[in-house]
Amino acid sequence: MSEARNTSISQSSGRALPAADLARTVVFAAFIAVLGLFPGFYLGGAAVPIVLQNTGPLLAGSILGARRGGAAVLLFLALVALGLPLLSGGRGGLAVFAGPSGGFLIGYVFSAVVVGLIVQRATPRPGLLVLLLANVAGVAVDYLVGIPYWAAFTGDLRVAAIQSLVFVPGDAAKLVLVSLVAAAVHRAVPTVPAASPRTAED
């Protein structure tokens, strides 16, 4: 079982994306977009709805792994850049990459790749601890890209870092949620990291 999965992951590093990989990448890019269509989620007793879209890249890495997860986020961002209003709040176009949060958007790709790289190492499937670790790293990578990017506008790395602190509590809560959800999905769909559903059924 785990051997079949390992071979299918290595096979997917070939030149062309097999159809199953392509489909998962495309559908997950759409999944991230759909997260943005939701008006926001009232969590627990909270009065303020939380935006779910930035959990998308973490989930992509946690569930699809580095290659397909990263590709899904890249595809999603490409659609946004082309001018489709898929970012939460109906935003889109090149302008979203220019603002203070532009670097954090670009960082999503690296975030998904790093999360995927860590999650893939866990066999036979990642537990909650590995997922938590992976997602902490994923969020950290996003900051590593986002803060210097914003600093290019403000001209001061320290100022940019201080201004970015407002995101930390929300991101911390979200990465725990993502880990819980991803662990449940891995438990429910044991074939998740496999490239092709056929190998799992055989």
Partner 1 sequence: MTPLGLYQPGTSVLHRAAAGHKFLALLALAVLIFVVHSPVWLGVTALAVTLGYPVARVSPRRCLQLVRLLVPVLGLVFAAQWWLVGFDSAAVVCLRLLVTLGAANLFTLTTRVDDLVTAVERGLRPTRRFGVRPERLGLLVGLTLQAVAALSMIAGQTREAQRARSAERSLPAFAVPFLIRTLRHADELGEALAARGVDDD
Find, among 95, 96, 24, the residue nearest to 53 by Cα: 96
Handedness of CA 112, 5, 34, 134 (dihedral sign): negative
Q: What's the token pair of residue 99?
A: 């603002």
β partners of residue 50: 41
Supply the angle between the helices 157-164 and 128-154 in degrees, to the nearest 10: 130
* 172 sits near partner 1 (criterion: CB under 8 A): no
Distance CA 157, CA 135 (A): 24
CB of 130 to partner 1, least distance (A): 18
Whether residue 127 contacts residue 93, with contact meaning beta carbons closer than 8 Å, is answered with no
Find, among 167, 144, 146, 57, the residue nearest to 100 by Cα: 146
* 152 sits near partner 1 (criterion: CB under 8 A): yes
Segment near partner 1 (CB under 8 A), from 103-111, 115-123, 135-143, 189-197? 189-197
Whether residue 25 contacts residue 69, with contact meaning beta carbons closer than 8 Å, is answered with no
* Binding-residue pattern over the window 62 to 101 for partner 1, x denoting contact by CB under 8 A: -x-----------xx-xx--xxxxx----xxxxx-xxxx-
Amino acid at 165: L
CB of 113 to partner 1, least distance (A): 17
Q: Which is nearer to partner 1, 162 or 168 (CB)?
A: 162
Distance CA 133, CA 124 (A): 17
* 140 sits near partner 1 (criterion: CB under 8 A): no
CB of 96 to partner 1, least distance (A): 8
* Binding-residue pattern over the window 11 to 50 for partner 1, x denoting contact by CB under 8 A: ----xxxxxxxxxx-xxxxxx-xx--xx--xxxxx-----
* 189 sits near partner 1 (criterion: CB under 8 A): yes
Q: Which is nearer to partner 1, 122 or 181 (CB)?
A: 181
- Chain contacts with partner 1 (rule: CB under 8 A): 15-24, 26-31, 33-34, 37-38, 41-45, 59, 63, 75-76, 78-79, 82-86, 91-95, 97-100, 152-156, 159, 162-163, 177, 180-181, 184-185, 188-189, 192, 196-197
